[in-house]
Amino acid sequence: MNYMEVKYNNISNGPGVRTSLFVSGCSHHCEGCFNFDAWNRNSGQPYTQEVQDKILKSFDNSHIDGLTLLGGEPMMDYNVETLIDLCKAIRESYPNKTIWVYSGWTYEELIVKPKQLELLQLCDVLVDGKWVTSLYSPKLNFRGSSNQRIIDLKETFRTGTVVLDKHHNEI
């Protein structure tokens, strides 16, 4: 897997202060994408154990609330396995940190793929749906267009129906 950037102390991609991993590769090619440089899976640099160790070390800081996975597209087949390993390490060593993941695919499209489902089960929140320029609003919390949903994955898996995150979906 390649990645474009790791942002430490990031406040834009989820609640609180987060470590955000921007992975490379995306097949959606949404018109108006802010991160089109990440479309090519070979962009950026290789994700190594050293990079993962540095990400994990960032959680030793009590002010870091969690991890956000975005890109590119974290749910691309060639990214998922590495992200599963990262999320398992976080769950083992930092069980109180939250994990958010952004995807251009919808929840319903992702849960039918075994590895993508496995990754979702390690996460707390999914922001799903493609970026749609005509649905953009600067008033939206943690998403760019109104078709995107902020899904509480723990409650969704518990109830068997999509449950929107009650704290972050309001405008």
Report the distance separating Cα 87 and Cα 90, nearest Å. 5
Do 167 and 152 contact (CB within 8 A), yes or no? no
Helix axes 77-93, 49-58, angle to 10 degrees: 40
Question: Residue 78 and residue 23: Cα distance in Å, rounded?
Answer: 10
- Per-residue pLDDT at 89 exceeds 80: yes
Q: Let me know: does 148 contact 137? Beta carbons within 8 Å.
A: no
The pLDDT of residue 36 is 60
3-state percent helix, strand, coil for the chain, nearest multiple of 5? 30, 25, 45
pLDDT digits (tens, 9 = 90+) for 100-123: 999 999 999 999 999 999 999 999
Strands (E), 78-144: 98-103, 125-128
pLDDT number for residue 170: 61
